[in-house]
Amino acid sequence: MKIDGYTRVCGVMGNPVEHTMSPAIHNTLAQALGENLVYIPFHVPAGHAGDAVRGAYALNLLGMNVTVPYKRDVVPFLKEIDPLAETIGAVNTLVRTEGGFKGYNTDMPGLYRAMSEDGVGIEGEDVLILGAGGVARAVAILAVRKGARRILILNRTLEKAQRIAREVNGLAPAGVQPASALALEECASLPGDRYLAIQATNVGMFPKTEDAVIEETAFYRKVHTGYDLVFNPPRTRFMALVEENGGRAFGGLKMLLYQGIIAYELWTGAQVDAGLAEKAKEAMHIS
Ligand code: NAP
Protein backbone atom coordinates (compact mmCIF):
# COMPACT_ATOMS: atom_id res chain seq x y z
CA MET A 1 0.00 0.00 0.00
CA LYS A 2 1.44 3.37 -1.04
CA ILE A 3 0.97 6.25 1.41
CA ASP A 4 1.54 9.73 0.05
CA GLY A 5 0.33 13.30 0.49
CA TYR A 6 -3.11 12.43 -0.95
CA THR A 7 -3.82 9.45 1.32
CA ARG A 8 -7.16 9.80 3.12
CA VAL A 9 -7.47 8.53 6.68
CA CYS A 10 -10.42 6.84 8.36
CA GLY A 11 -10.43 4.98 11.65
CA VAL A 12 -12.30 3.64 14.63
CA MET A 13 -12.39 5.28 18.05
CA GLY A 14 -13.13 3.19 21.13
CA ASN A 15 -11.83 1.98 24.46
CA PRO A 16 -10.69 -0.75 24.25
CA VAL A 17 -10.14 -0.82 20.52
CA GLU A 18 -7.24 -3.23 20.26
CA HIS A 19 -9.41 -6.27 19.41
CA THR A 20 -11.17 -4.54 16.47
CA MET A 21 -11.60 -6.33 13.15
CA SER A 22 -12.62 -3.17 11.31
CA PRO A 23 -9.13 -2.36 9.89
CA ALA A 24 -9.17 -5.74 8.12
CA ILE A 25 -12.54 -4.91 6.51
CA HIS A 26 -11.77 -1.34 5.42
CA ASN A 27 -8.17 -1.76 4.32
CA THR A 28 -9.20 -4.80 2.22
CA LEU A 29 -11.97 -2.76 0.58
CA ALA A 30 -9.68 0.23 -0.06
CA GLN A 31 -6.99 -1.96 -1.61
CA ALA A 32 -9.44 -3.91 -3.78
CA LEU A 33 -11.15 -0.72 -4.99
CA GLY A 34 -7.86 1.12 -5.57
CA GLU A 35 -8.73 3.91 -3.12
CA ASN A 36 -5.84 5.87 -1.62
CA LEU A 37 -7.20 5.37 1.92
CA VAL A 38 -5.99 3.86 5.18
CA TYR A 39 -8.02 2.85 8.22
CA ILE A 40 -6.50 2.73 11.68
CA PRO A 41 -7.63 2.16 15.29
CA PHE A 42 -7.65 5.07 17.80
CA HIS A 43 -7.69 4.27 21.50
CA VAL A 44 -9.50 7.22 23.09
CA PRO A 45 -9.12 7.66 26.87
CA ALA A 46 -12.23 8.04 29.04
CA GLY A 47 -13.67 11.57 28.95
CA HIS A 48 -12.11 12.49 25.57
CA ALA A 49 -14.83 11.55 23.06
CA GLY A 50 -15.48 15.19 22.16
CA ASP A 51 -11.76 15.98 21.79
CA ALA A 52 -11.43 12.94 19.52
CA VAL A 53 -14.32 14.01 17.24
CA ARG A 54 -13.07 17.62 16.99
CA GLY A 55 -9.47 16.44 16.53
CA ALA A 56 -10.44 14.00 13.79
CA TYR A 57 -12.26 16.77 11.93
CA ALA A 58 -9.35 19.20 12.35
CA LEU A 59 -6.94 16.57 11.00
CA ASN A 60 -9.10 16.22 7.86
CA LEU A 61 -10.11 12.62 8.51
CA LEU A 62 -12.63 11.41 5.94
CA GLY A 63 -14.68 9.39 8.42
CA MET A 64 -14.69 7.52 11.69
CA ASN A 65 -16.33 4.51 13.22
CA VAL A 66 -17.30 4.78 16.85
CA THR A 67 -17.43 1.78 19.13
CA VAL A 68 -17.99 1.01 22.82
CA PRO A 69 -18.27 3.09 25.00
CA TYR A 70 -18.63 6.22 22.85
CA LYS A 71 -21.66 5.58 20.61
CA ARG A 72 -23.79 8.01 22.62
CA ASP A 73 -21.01 10.30 23.85
CA VAL A 74 -20.12 11.58 20.36
CA VAL A 75 -23.65 12.84 19.61
CA PRO A 76 -23.29 16.37 21.11
CA PHE A 77 -20.17 16.96 18.96
CA LEU A 78 -21.80 16.29 15.58
CA LYS A 79 -22.90 18.88 13.05
CA GLU A 80 -25.86 16.71 12.04
CA ILE A 81 -27.40 13.34 12.88
CA ASP A 82 -29.21 10.95 10.58
CA PRO A 83 -32.85 10.34 11.71
CA LEU A 84 -32.35 6.57 12.23
CA ALA A 85 -29.29 7.16 14.43
CA GLU A 86 -31.26 9.78 16.34
CA THR A 87 -34.13 7.35 16.99
CA ILE A 88 -31.73 4.61 18.07
CA GLY A 89 -29.76 7.12 20.13
CA ALA A 90 -26.39 5.71 19.10
CA VAL A 91 -23.92 6.66 16.38
CA ASN A 92 -21.31 4.25 15.04
CA THR A 93 -20.23 6.14 11.90
CA LEU A 94 -19.11 9.74 11.35
CA VAL A 95 -19.11 11.12 7.82
CA ARG A 96 -17.20 14.29 7.00
CA THR A 97 -19.42 17.14 5.77
CA GLU A 98 -18.96 20.89 5.38
CA GLY A 99 -18.37 22.25 8.90
CA GLY A 100 -18.44 19.00 10.90
CA PHE A 101 -19.26 15.31 10.98
CA LYS A 102 -22.70 13.83 10.31
CA GLY A 103 -23.50 10.82 12.52
CA TYR A 104 -25.09 7.59 11.28
CA ASN A 105 -25.94 4.21 12.73
CA THR A 106 -24.93 1.45 10.31
CA ASP A 107 -25.38 -1.41 12.82
CA MET A 108 -29.08 -1.89 12.09
CA PRO A 109 -28.85 -1.34 8.31
CA GLY A 110 -25.91 -3.81 8.52
CA LEU A 111 -28.06 -6.40 10.26
CA TYR A 112 -30.89 -5.82 7.79
CA ARG A 113 -28.57 -6.21 4.78
CA ALA A 114 -27.07 -9.39 6.28
CA MET A 115 -30.57 -10.79 6.90
CA SER A 116 -31.74 -9.89 3.41
CA GLU A 117 -28.74 -11.65 1.91
CA ASP A 118 -29.52 -14.71 4.04
CA GLY A 119 -33.13 -14.66 2.83
CA VAL A 120 -34.53 -13.71 6.27
CA GLY A 121 -37.38 -11.16 6.20
CA ILE A 122 -38.96 -9.21 9.07
CA GLU A 123 -42.25 -7.95 7.58
CA GLY A 124 -45.23 -9.86 8.99
CA GLU A 125 -42.99 -11.98 11.24
CA ASP A 126 -43.35 -12.70 14.94
CA VAL A 127 -39.95 -11.42 16.09
CA LEU A 128 -38.57 -12.54 19.42
CA ILE A 129 -35.63 -10.58 20.81
CA LEU A 130 -33.44 -12.06 23.53
CA GLY A 131 -31.90 -9.28 25.62
CA ALA A 132 -32.76 -5.66 26.37
CA GLY A 133 -29.39 -3.92 26.08
CA GLY A 134 -28.34 -1.28 23.56
CA VAL A 135 -28.31 -3.63 20.58
CA ALA A 136 -31.59 -5.37 21.51
CA ARG A 137 -33.27 -1.95 21.68
CA ALA A 138 -31.97 -1.08 18.21
CA VAL A 139 -33.16 -4.45 16.86
CA ALA A 140 -36.63 -3.79 18.31
CA ILE A 141 -36.69 -0.42 16.49
CA LEU A 142 -35.62 -2.14 13.26
CA ALA A 143 -38.39 -4.74 13.73
CA VAL A 144 -41.15 -2.14 14.19
CA ARG A 145 -39.88 -0.08 11.24
CA LYS A 146 -39.77 -3.14 8.97
CA GLY A 147 -43.33 -4.16 9.81
CA ALA A 148 -42.98 -7.11 12.21
CA ARG A 149 -46.42 -8.46 13.21
CA ARG A 150 -45.44 -9.07 16.82
CA ILE A 151 -42.28 -8.13 18.78
CA LEU A 152 -41.64 -10.07 21.95
CA ILE A 153 -38.68 -8.94 24.09
CA LEU A 154 -37.35 -11.45 26.62
CA ASN A 155 -34.81 -10.35 29.18
CA ARG A 156 -33.33 -11.43 32.50
CA THR A 157 -34.22 -7.99 33.90
CA LEU A 158 -37.90 -7.68 32.94
CA GLU A 159 -38.15 -3.90 33.53
CA LYS A 160 -35.59 -3.20 30.79
CA ALA A 161 -37.59 -5.28 28.30
CA GLN A 162 -40.81 -3.49 29.35
CA ARG A 163 -39.21 -0.09 28.81
CA ILE A 164 -38.15 -1.02 25.27
CA ALA A 165 -41.60 -2.47 24.50
CA ARG A 166 -43.23 0.82 25.53
CA GLU A 167 -40.80 2.83 23.41
CA VAL A 168 -41.30 0.61 20.39
CA ASN A 169 -45.08 0.74 20.66
CA GLY A 170 -44.72 4.52 20.57
CA LEU A 171 -43.04 4.17 17.16
CA ALA A 172 -45.69 1.82 15.73
CA PRO A 173 -48.50 3.00 13.42
CA ALA A 174 -51.51 4.46 15.29
CA GLY A 175 -53.68 1.83 16.95
CA VAL A 176 -51.06 -0.91 16.71
CA GLN A 177 -49.14 -2.17 19.76
CA PRO A 178 -46.88 -4.94 18.41
CA ALA A 179 -44.35 -5.07 21.26
CA SER A 180 -44.57 -6.82 24.62
CA ALA A 181 -42.08 -7.97 27.25
CA LEU A 182 -41.55 -11.26 29.02
CA ALA A 183 -39.11 -12.45 31.68
CA LEU A 184 -36.49 -14.87 30.41
CA GLU A 185 -37.70 -17.67 32.71
CA GLU A 186 -41.07 -17.65 30.93
CA CYS A 187 -39.40 -18.70 27.67
CA ALA A 188 -41.04 -22.14 27.61
CA SER A 189 -44.56 -20.67 27.57
CA LEU A 190 -44.51 -18.27 24.63
CA PRO A 191 -47.85 -17.23 23.16
CA GLY A 192 -47.17 -17.95 19.45
CA ASP A 193 -45.45 -20.88 17.80
CA ARG A 194 -43.31 -19.67 14.86
CA TYR A 195 -40.70 -17.09 15.72
CA LEU A 196 -37.80 -15.34 14.11
CA ALA A 197 -35.55 -15.19 17.20
CA ILE A 198 -32.74 -12.63 17.42
CA GLN A 199 -30.19 -13.36 20.15
CA ALA A 200 -28.90 -9.98 21.41
CA THR A 201 -27.43 -10.87 24.82
CA ASN A 202 -23.74 -11.34 25.57
CA VAL A 203 -24.25 -15.01 26.40
CA GLY A 204 -22.19 -17.47 24.35
CA MET A 205 -19.43 -15.00 23.49
CA PHE A 206 -15.81 -16.16 23.56
CA PRO A 207 -14.48 -17.52 25.92
CA LYS A 208 -17.79 -18.83 27.36
CA THR A 209 -18.70 -20.56 24.12
CA GLU A 210 -20.53 -23.47 25.80
CA ASP A 211 -23.27 -21.17 27.17
CA ALA A 212 -26.66 -20.37 25.64
CA VAL A 213 -29.08 -17.88 27.15
CA ILE A 214 -31.89 -20.49 26.92
CA GLU A 215 -31.51 -24.27 27.00
CA GLU A 216 -35.20 -25.41 26.96
CA THR A 217 -36.09 -27.51 23.92
CA ALA A 218 -39.71 -26.31 24.18
CA PHE A 219 -38.46 -22.82 23.32
CA TYR A 220 -36.33 -23.84 20.34
CA ARG A 221 -39.19 -25.85 18.82
CA LYS A 222 -40.98 -22.53 18.27
CA VAL A 223 -38.06 -20.91 16.47
CA HIS A 224 -38.07 -21.26 12.67
CA THR A 225 -35.03 -18.99 12.27
CA GLY A 226 -32.41 -17.99 14.85
CA TYR A 227 -30.09 -15.05 14.33
CA ASP A 228 -27.30 -14.78 16.90
CA LEU A 229 -25.63 -11.34 16.95
CA VAL A 230 -22.60 -12.81 18.72
CA PHE A 231 -19.84 -13.09 16.09
CA ASN A 232 -17.07 -14.75 18.09
CA PRO A 233 -17.37 -17.73 17.90
CA PRO A 234 -18.91 -17.70 14.42
CA ARG A 235 -21.04 -20.73 15.36
CA THR A 236 -22.60 -20.43 18.83
CA ARG A 237 -24.43 -22.89 21.07
CA PHE A 238 -27.64 -20.90 20.47
CA MET A 239 -27.25 -21.57 16.73
CA ALA A 240 -26.63 -25.28 17.37
CA LEU A 241 -29.77 -25.53 19.54
CA VAL A 242 -31.90 -23.79 16.87
CA GLU A 243 -30.65 -26.21 14.21
CA GLU A 244 -31.06 -29.29 16.40
CA ASN A 245 -34.72 -28.37 16.72
CA GLY A 246 -35.28 -27.93 13.00
CA GLY A 247 -34.69 -24.19 12.53
CA ARG A 248 -32.28 -22.22 10.34
CA ALA A 249 -29.46 -20.45 12.19
CA PHE A 250 -27.17 -17.53 11.36
CA GLY A 251 -24.36 -15.80 13.28
CA GLY A 252 -23.35 -12.16 13.80
CA LEU A 253 -20.30 -12.02 11.56
CA LYS A 254 -22.21 -10.83 8.50
CA MET A 255 -23.83 -8.00 10.49
CA LEU A 256 -20.38 -6.90 11.62
CA LEU A 257 -19.15 -7.06 8.04
CA TYR A 258 -22.05 -5.07 6.60
CA GLN A 259 -22.06 -2.34 9.25
CA GLY A 260 -18.47 -1.75 8.10
CA ILE A 261 -19.28 -1.97 4.40
CA ILE A 262 -22.16 0.53 4.71
CA ALA A 263 -19.81 2.94 6.53
CA TYR A 264 -17.23 2.53 3.78
CA GLU A 265 -19.90 3.23 1.14
CA LEU A 266 -20.96 6.39 3.01
CA TRP A 267 -17.37 7.66 3.16
CA THR A 268 -16.34 6.93 -0.41
CA GLY A 269 -19.52 6.60 -2.48
CA ALA A 270 -18.33 3.13 -3.58
CA GLN A 271 -20.75 0.23 -4.07
CA VAL A 272 -19.46 -2.99 -2.51
CA ASP A 273 -20.76 -6.10 -4.29
CA ALA A 274 -21.18 -9.58 -2.80
CA GLY A 275 -17.82 -10.81 -4.19
CA LEU A 276 -15.89 -8.00 -2.57
CA ALA A 277 -17.89 -8.39 0.65
CA GLU A 278 -16.76 -12.03 0.75
CA LYS A 279 -13.14 -10.95 0.30
CA ALA A 280 -13.46 -8.53 3.25
CA LYS A 281 -15.07 -11.28 5.33
CA GLU A 282 -12.13 -13.60 4.64
CA ALA A 283 -9.77 -10.84 5.79
CA MET A 284 -11.47 -10.88 9.20
CA HIS A 285 -9.97 -14.38 9.72
CA ILE A 286 -12.97 -15.88 11.49
CA SER A 287 -15.27 -17.71 9.15
P1 NAP B 1 -25.50 -4.72 26.65
O2 NAP B 1 -26.12 -3.39 26.42
O3 NAP B 1 -24.47 -4.87 27.69
O4 NAP B 1 -26.70 -5.75 26.96
C5 NAP B 1 -26.42 -7.08 27.34
C6 NAP B 1 -27.70 -7.90 27.39
O7 NAP B 1 -27.32 -9.26 27.69
C8 NAP B 1 -28.67 -7.48 28.50
O9 NAP B 1 -29.99 -7.68 28.04
C10 NAP B 1 -28.34 -8.47 29.63
O11 NAP B 1 -29.43 -8.73 30.50
C12 NAP B 1 -28.05 -9.72 28.82
N13 NAP B 1 -27.22 -10.66 29.56
C14 NAP B 1 -25.91 -10.54 29.88
N15 NAP B 1 -25.49 -11.62 30.58
C16 NAP B 1 -26.57 -12.43 30.71
C17 NAP B 1 -26.78 -13.70 31.32
N18 NAP B 1 -25.79 -14.34 31.93
N19 NAP B 1 -28.01 -14.25 31.26
C20 NAP B 1 -29.03 -13.61 30.64
N21 NAP B 1 -28.90 -12.41 30.02
C22 NAP B 1 -27.68 -11.82 30.06
O23 NAP B 1 -24.82 -5.30 25.30
P24 NAP B 1 -25.09 -4.86 23.79
O25 NAP B 1 -24.17 -3.75 23.45
O26 NAP B 1 -26.55 -4.69 23.60
O27 NAP B 1 -24.55 -6.15 22.99
C28 NAP B 1 -25.30 -7.35 22.98
C29 NAP B 1 -24.69 -8.38 22.03
O30 NAP B 1 -24.68 -7.91 20.70
C31 NAP B 1 -23.24 -8.78 22.35
O32 NAP B 1 -23.13 -10.18 22.30
C33 NAP B 1 -22.44 -8.19 21.22
O34 NAP B 1 -21.31 -8.97 20.87
C35 NAP B 1 -23.45 -8.24 20.08
N36 NAP B 1 -23.14 -7.27 19.02
C37 NAP B 1 -22.93 -7.72 17.76
C38 NAP B 1 -22.63 -6.86 16.73
C39 NAP B 1 -22.40 -7.39 15.35
O40 NAP B 1 -22.03 -6.60 14.47
N41 NAP B 1 -22.63 -8.66 15.11
C42 NAP B 1 -22.56 -5.48 16.98
C43 NAP B 1 -22.79 -5.02 18.28
C44 NAP B 1 -23.07 -5.93 19.29
P45 NAP B 1 -29.77 -7.75 31.75
O46 NAP B 1 -30.48 -6.57 31.17
O47 NAP B 1 -30.63 -8.58 32.63
O48 NAP B 1 -28.44 -7.41 32.37
Question: Does residue 71 have an active-site annotation?
Answer: yes
Give the pLDDT of residue 240. Answer: 98
Options 2, 71, 208, 254, the catalytic residue: 71
CB of 104 closer than 6 angstroms to any ligand 1 atom = no
Task: Choose which residue among 156, 219, 230 to substitute to test ligand 1 binding: the one with the highest number of ligand atoms within 8 A of its C-beta.
Answer: 156
For ligand 1, whether the C-beta of 198 sits within 6 Å is no
Per-residue confidence (pLDDT) for residue 192, from 0 to 100: 86
- Written as one letter, the residue type at 31 is Q
**Half-sphere exposure (CA, 13 Å, Cβ side) for 266?**
26
Nearest to 154 by CA among 194, 189, 107: 189
Task: Give the model's confidence band at 286: pLDDT under 50 very low, under 70 low, under 90 confident, else very high.
Answer: low
Q: Is 5 helix (H, G, I), strand (E, B) or coil?
A: coil
Does any ligand 1 atom lie closer than 6 A to the CB of residue 136?
A: yes
Instruction: Supply the mean pLDDT for the chain.
Output: 96
Q: Kindly state the helix (H) or strand (E) to which residue 158 belongs, with its residue range.
A: helix 158-171
Q: What is the pLDDT of residues 54-101, one digit of tens each?
A: 999 999 999 999 999 999 999 999 999 999 999 999 999 999 999 999
Strand order in the sheet with 8-14: 37-43, 8-14, 63-66, 93-97, 100-104, 80-81
In this predicted model, what pLDDT tens digit does every residue of 134-175 receive, in sequence order?
999 999 999 999 999 999 999 999 999 999 999 999 999 999
Condensed to tens digits (0 to 9), the pLDDT of residues 203-239 reads: 999 999 999 999 999 999 999 999 999 999 999 999 9
Query: Is residue 268 a contact partner of residue 37, using CB atoms and an 8 Å limit?
Result: yes
- For the cut 60, the answer to whether the pLDDT of residue 287 exceeds it is no
Residues near 190 by beta carbon (within 8 Å), at least 6 away in sequence:
128, 152, 182, 219, 222
Q: Is 205 in the pocket of ligand 1 (CB under 6 A)?
A: yes
